[in-house]
Chains A and B, each alone.
Chain A
Amino acid sequence: METYYNPEDLKKFGNIGEYQKELADKFFSYYGSVFAEGALTAREKSLIALAVAHTVQCPYCIDAYTNDTLEKGCTEEQMMEAVHVAAAIRGGSSLVHSVQMMNKVKQVSM
């Protein structure tokens, strides 16, 4: 079945340099540095990446960071809690805008 998303394309991510090498090289160098051990552990960064992957709804990123968090020794419970953090922020970001709606209601209502 032909789809817009092909799991095989994840392996070709590195090929983006084919059309613009300099920027791709800079991006992958930066990417490597971002995920290295730092003030946050590589494991913590991987869990953040898993949550963000669900927020941006990128199937490649979900695939990659499910593997990566498992490889870094995270439990399924920790991974699901990370996704709930993403969900809470997404839900909260809608709900917090309801204050704007409430303000408007109060402004225009008797």
Chain B
Amino acid sequence: MKSLKASGHQLASSVAQLGLLEQEVAEKLKLPSFRDKLRSAGLFPLQPTELSVFQVNVGKMCNQVCKHCHVDAGPDRKEIMTRETMQQCLDALAKTTLQTVDLTGGAPEMNPDFRWFVAEIRRLGRHVIVRCNLTIIMANPKYRDLPEFYRQHQIEVVSSLPFYNADKTDRQRGKGVFADSIEALKLLNAVGYGQEASGLRLNLVYNPAGAFLPGSQEGLERQFKRVLFDEFGIVFNSLYAITNIPVSRYLDYLIQSGNYDGYMEKLVNAFNPAAAAGVMCRNTISVGWDGQLYDCDFNQMLDLNVASPVRHVRDFDPVRLSQRAVVINEHCYGCTAGAGSSCGGTTA
């Protein structure tokens, strides 16, 4: 399967995606805009809180082509962060006391400077989260030592596993992904990840394999823990339930499957002011592969830069960035539905 970009798909364009989202919500579905919903909750304009997460997307290259991917990542995507931009990220971090650096992609490990970057961030004494897709560990012998590398640097590993069986996982992420993910989880467990008292955190990410919302994070975690342990002897710390956001390939899936209208209605009707108050874009800054700054990884994929004169990591200035308002659009309904959704799971 090719990325939308490589196949010349109309939805590879962020302008086309935003046009579709805005037009459908307002004109076809007659639903209130996200801006109006925020206003009714007393949250517009959406102001940042204290910055605590520095999220860096080190590139769109990935060994997988998942059907729901908001990045439109895949082996055919060549956008990769250079060491020069990584150095600018390190310089930016050195100016702040913010403690958490969240590395994502694509498969972040496919960036040739990934290990250097991780080591340098750790040298600054910051906590590092790597969003590892698991199969990268099995994809090539040169990645087989990643669990040991993570352990050495005390990295927190956050890994997508959309379901506890092969059928649903492979339908979303590709044939054979579940089997490889299980093998990778066993390797992570073997070096201590997810084990009580090891201090090595392994969290899994659940997102629905279809056009429905995630149920209770607690209930899903209980189920995942039971099945993964009983059937494979696998342990992990927490499960994060994440809502699929109607962007890029997931937006394409919704339209192709005839689920778009119903899904948007469901998101809008499930708007939760408490979840809106806790959205992660308020305490996060997101850095793109080319150093541009965004409020979140979804805005990044929609080319919605921060509404600030500071738009590139080389000019990073936390005080000036704190004066911005978060850029919103109709896709933001995905993070405010029900119990809320963020890179760290539910928010309300």
Q: Which of B134-169 contact A (CB under 8 A)?
A: 163-165, 167-168
B216 within 8 A of A: yes
Q: Is the interface of A mostly helix, strand, loop or mixed?
A: helix
Q: Is B223 an interface residue (CB 8 A)?
A: yes
- Which A residues lie within 8 Å of B214 (CB)? 71
Complex Cα distance A42/B215, Å?
10
Query: What per-residue 1/0 map shows which CB atoms of A20-56 lie under 8 Å from chain B?
Result: 0000000000000000010001110000000000000
Residue A72 lies at the interface, judged by CB distance under 8 Å to chain B: yes
Nearest first, the 8 closest Cβ-Cβ pairs linking A and B are: A71-B215, A72-B215, A73-B220, A73-B223, A70-B212, A71-B212, A67-B212, A43-B219
A75 touches B220 (CB 8 A): no
User: Roughly how many angstroms separate A20 CA and B214 CA in the complex, as a whole number?
Assistant: 33
- State which of A43, A68, A70, A71 has its C-beta within 8 Å of the C-beta of B223: A43
Say yes or no: A42 contacts B219, CB within 8 Å.
Answer: yes
| Smallest beta-carbon distance A62→chain B, Å | 15
In the complex, which residues of chain B have a beta carbon less than 8 angstroms from the beta carbon of A73? 163-164, 206, 215, 219-220, 223-224
User: How far apart are A98's CB and chain B's nearest CB, in angstroms?
Assistant: 39
Distance to closest chain B CB from A60 (angstroms) = 15
* A75 touching B219 in the complex, CB below 8 Å, given contacts A67-B212, A70-B210: no
Given contacts A70-B212, A71-B212, contact A41 B168 (CB under 8 A): no
Query: Is B251 interfacial (CB 8 A cutoff)?
Result: no
B213 within 8 A of A: yes
Interface membership of B208, Cβ < 8 A: yes
Mark each residue of chain B from 162 to 184: 1 if its CB lies under 8 Å from any CB of chain A, else 0.
01110110000000000000000
Contact B167 A71 (CB under 8 A): no
Pairwise interchain contact B213-A71, C-beta atoms closer than 8 A: yes
